[in-house]
Structure 1
């Protein structure tokens, strides 16, 4: 026997290629080996940036004694959850059903047919050793009971789907109930929802911003603003380099779990950009600008595309790169600036993190300070960032995940067109090109690529939805019909191969690898669910192309997920965001112009109702339905405000367009 991970493309699997464990990658060969040996499989699921995955690896998987137990009694399979979200979803449902909680690393014992019979997460070495022995004994001496347990678990997780469930029409009352649920669940002191650990609620904030714009709800805007300010000033946000960590271990956003994920930062970039659009708050714009800079600077890869994550650890220690003591600040900045920085960033002698060190937080509003203080702050940040760059740096998971890059395309496109950031606009177009040229193979999406080479795992529903939505965003900022055509091709695949037959969607295609159950999770968690992502793209495509059948599919899917809105709004943020657009129309704005920088374009983007699609370009562009039969009026750039391709009278005056949009 030998470790089989040396040829893996996943950085996470490659981290384990030198373990004494005889790891197998996920695949039929591993299960066939388990059947040949008549032993259970041990499925270990994690990801490259996961701190506790590293801890369990160091404690157990690098230990010869533990490895011997694993090798003798099991076929051990290592899974990168980011490459195989379908596998992760199936066994996470089982883990949550059996233990009441989930997380990574995920540890699953299953039959040689993949049926899980015992599941958990992180186990310290002594517990894990005893568990291996106990499971091995049960497999040999109580086989019938183990198999019955596995069959029961499979039946239970197969029923935990939103297939054949109730449907509820989308209504203003339902979305008001979703907003009220979030209001009730908010942390009024520190912002966000719930207690520790606290995750950035990006999708809920996007929903509340659209809800505010449609209804005028002051509470929706205030809840969003408060959460955005607390996060942006907290330790979850990198006060020196920009970018958000995965979550805060406390309720105050002070000490993060330091991994930085592409999907969080893409969704937060959208939230802060939209908050600035609606309020003009310079703080929101600064956080958006710095987050966009982080994405392009720290996650950009030589082969194109954005890397998945930065690790939580450096040199095996969590937070080593980021934490400071007062003495370290003085060493870098000198006595006067060091003391000033310690006060500004709340770096104390006792510390907020480990070993007397502190995570930097922004103690007071600096964006609106007098120019000399702002300049001093920028100078201090520059010096500290330079000093920090000489410390050990976190590793980077440089695989390109289709759905997460799709989220980034949409976010960068919005940031670029709203703020005028040319780098964001160019990056959105380039990223879309990488996804179209590399990940779209034979008309079907592939989930991952690395170093310019596309991987084998098939795209799941969230890939189709997020990439299609990204293509639609690029279509809008370029008026290039190619992107609309590509989005339609992806949506047609999703409708043909992922539908449940009753308006919903499975997460895997009907011709994908068969797992013990076919996942169909409608809830938004760390990322938009496949259902909410594909629904967003269906609504957008229908509005841009004027093809009602796609809107009918979107409405049917929204009715499937709508029961979650008032019961579990924190797990339906993205689908509720889409529902806000659907309830509004969404509006369509066509701007016939030969000048993409015409003031009408800026007005349309700044003042459009929630979810509006906007295309600006010369009239009758090939492949751009929204510009068809939309002539310039008296030779001037002309705006058409439409719903269902039925338009109001054309407008040429930006002030008139502002007044027209203000009525919505």
Structure 2
């Protein structure tokens, strides 16, 4: 008999629909049953691409004996952390409070009927193993503790709720004086944590940290500091050459299990690859390293090939142009099976002259690097060295490598692919829209820009209802109130897309999103933005996140995007809301600077408002001027607004040139220079203005 998950859209929840566990989705039915029956809740949070979630499901949730114990003692609730990041934030934090250990997935928490956690962990094996208690033994003991130790649990719950309340940043009586001190402090902290050998920050497991690296890129463009650029370039090279990058198909996995970026946890997440597209693009602007361009091209191709329905298929409403969420770590119930190789298999596929290049280049001459029997491809020898070793020219080695990669990719495509979670998440789409639009603009790839525009159009048509966003959509069914990240990331993505291709409908959408941010998420008294809207379901805590995590802080991105939109439109409501958020979190910036890089970018932009260039004219002259300006600095925004657009806000509604060519307006914040009708004069002014902006940032 199926449980209560059959009506859900989440692929993760549907993976558990045939479990003997009597699962419920989070909602009134399950919560009411727990209250009326005075029965504790077993809350299990995971996601469809999670390897250890699969392991616990196979060991315990598919086991009749375990399911009997779960059904006897608990109301069992299954949650997709990607659909319900509000619940995941709260209960990951609660687990840390209860155990002083970091959380993860699967998250396994036991709650009172009023949703307060009293015991938990992450993965539990069915029987005791590796120092972990057995889940089957644990279940009756936890249930017994709930009934026998009620007063102690109540005291613990009261303390936990006080701790939650104390986590919210408190507004200071006086507005702090902003300075560049937190910017310098963050760089110092990142330099201290930088792995000078392998790149990246911190120890194993090594995560990608795109927010911190993007902050470093911006500081390089502002200051010209070579050491800051080195941290970025060294890290991006090591990642691109490592096994964390799919050497055949493009795209990055979620993290590396070793310090060398060799062996990843093989799941691929949309939320990593969107920011990395932008990061590698900006690193290419700083260095023109062909490796970075190749990574952008291959990752963008992977996104369009595997994470977005084709234009011809978009009419079936499965994705409709939106980006899918994740690719699983497993295929055929084995982690990494789709990606790893046997050396003999590669030697059989490739002709000897191509194998002679591939073997040293991808590390096949070394011992196996995956489970001591397979090879996960990584670049272990520069191609130029491999060419010299086998006595061929570098250009010939490049041709043979390209031919070999094509053959291996075609062969790999015949394998059973990892599962794909095809739900469309608004927030993660916002991150990818920004990445694809930025890469498309810099590399002049209209197909990438079109990909981003298709995703925006899908969100506007399917996930924007009654002037409010919804968080998720699967097979045309959209639901769940959107969160701060949905509005902030999408607004930020729209501002990037409008620079690649200006569409008035996108500007109107951006203004609508900004207005909802102020109306439904802003704390008017203290400043900043709550993670959930004012009319959201009441939970045991309402976070106001400022620290970056695997994705940027919603407060940081919201304030940054509102600042940019406020300067573009001359809308002081947006600027003031961003300033209030920055003021609220400024003490946090001063204490934990490198943990708040998205808020630091907002601070940087507050100290030196962005240079905005508005072009009005007719094609092809408009395109020519826009191309001449280029995309050299993240501090300059360029909007090429066609003359035929009418009803624009005053900041964009500039008059046409007398000869119907192009006019340009250059603004720093809300201060604008007189119109410019000569392209060379515009280029000279933009260079001067850019230097002025950098000097302001650096005191």
The answer for the alignment partner of 1:516 in structure 2 is 540
Q: Is the 8 A contact 1:154 1:516 kept in 2?
A: yes
TM-fit CA distance, 1:2: 6.2
- Quickly say closer, same or farther: Cα 1:465–1:60, change in 2 above 3 A: same
Q: Is the 8 A contact 1:45 1:104 kept in 2?
A: yes
The answer for the alignment partner of 1:639 in structure 2 is 664
TM-fit CA distance, 1:168: 4.5
Give the alignment partner of residue 502 of structure 1, picking from 519, 522, 526. Answer: 526
Q: Deviations over 1:133-178 (max 9, x none)?
A: 2101112222222232223222222322224469754422321221
SS of residue paired to 2:481: coil
Q: Is the 8 A contact 2:243 2:262 kept in 1?
A: yes
Q: Does the alignment pair 1:491 with 2:499?
A: no
Q: Is the 8 A contact 1:589 1:642 kept in 2?
A: yes
The answer for the alignment partner of 1:151 in structure 2 is 158
Q: Is the 8 A contact 2:182 2:593 kept in 1?
A: no
Distance 1:174 1:489 in 2: 32
Distance 1:370 1:559 in 2: 55
Moved more, 640-649 or 233-242: 640-649
Moved more, 141-150 or 242-251: 141-150
Q: Is the 8 A contact 2:2 2:17 kept in 1?
A: no
The answer for the alignment partner of 2:340 in structure 1 is 323
Distance 2:426 2:656 in 1: 37
The answer for the alignment partner of 1:555 in structure 2 is 579
Distance 1:199 1:644 in 2: 35
The answer for the alignment partner of 1:543 in structure 2 is 567
Q: Does the alignment pair 1:105 with 2:113?
A: no
TM-fit CA distance, 1:603: 3.3
Give the alignment partner of residue 263 of structure 2, picking from 251, 255, 274. Answer: 255
Moved more, 106-115 or 562-571: 562-571
Q: Deviations over 1:541-576 (max 9, x none)?
A: 112211122112112212323334454344322222
TM-fit CA distance, 1:486: 1.5
TM-fit CA distance, 1:329: 1.3
SS of residue paired to 2:631: helix
Aligned ranges for residues 224-623 of structure 1 at < 5 Å?
224-301=232-309, 302=314, 303-304=319-320, 305-348=322-365, 350-366=367-383, 370-455=394-479, 457-500=480-523, 501-565=525-589, 567-595=591-619, 598-608=623-633, 610=635, 612-618=637-643, 621-623=646-648
Distance 2:678 2:414 in 1: 54
Q: Does the alignment pair 1:205 with 2:228?
A: no
The answer for the alignment partner of 1:72 in structure 2 is 72
SS of residue paired to 2:482: coil
Moved more, 127-136 or 263-272: 127-136
SS of residue paired to 1:320: coil
SS of residue paired to 1:393: coil
Distance 2:503 2:264 in 1: 41
Distance 2:206 2:575 in 1: 35
Moved more, 98-107 or 397-406: 98-107
Q: Is the 8 A contact 1:587 1:643 kept in 2?
A: yes
The answer for the alignment partner of 1:648 in structure 2 is 673
What TM-score comes out, normalization by structure 1 length?
0.95
- Quickly say closer, same or farther: Cα 1:348–1:319, change in 2 above 3 A: farther
- Quickly say closer, same or farther: Cα 1:168–1:256, change in 2 above 3 A: farther
TM-fit CA distance, 1:15: 0.4
Distance 2:92 2:669 in 1: 41
Q: For structure 2, which runs of at least 5 residues remain unmatched after alignment? A: 128-133, 386-392, 692-699
Distance 2:599 2:80 in 1: 27
Aligned ranges for residues 184-203 of structure 1 at < 5 Å?
184-203=192-211
SS of residue paired to 2:340: coil
TM-fit CA distance, 1:452: 1.8
TM-fit CA distance, 1:7: 1.2
Distance 2:210 2:258 in 1: 18
Moved more, 107-116 or 211-220: 211-220
Moved more, 218-227 or 154-163: 154-163
- Quickly say closer, same or farther: Cα 1:370–1:655, change in 2 above 3 A: farther
Q: For structure 1, which runs of at least 5 residues remain unmatched after alignment? A: none
- Quickly say closer, same or farther: Cα 1:168–1:298, change in 2 above 3 A: farther
Give the alignment partner of residue 182 of structure 2, picking from 160, 171, 174. Answer: 174
The answer for the alignment partner of 2:695 in structure 1 is none
Distance 1:535 1:206 in 2: 17
Aligned ranges for residues 115-154 of structure 1 at < 5 Å?
115-126=116-127, 127-154=134-161
Distance 1:377 1:582 in 2: 48
Q: Is the 8 A contact 1:209 1:224 kept in 2?
A: yes
Distance 1:357 1:576 in 2: 43
TM-fit CA distance, 1:411: 1.4
Distance 1:563 1:66 in 2: 48
Q: Does the alignment pair 1:90 with 2:55?
A: no
Q: Is the 8 A contact 2:357 2:400 kept in 1?
A: no
Q: Deviations over 1:606-629 (max 9, x none)?
A: 234525353443387432544323
Q: Deviations over 1:222-257 (max 9, x none)?
A: 111111111111111100000000011111111000
TM-fit CA distance, 1:96: 1.4
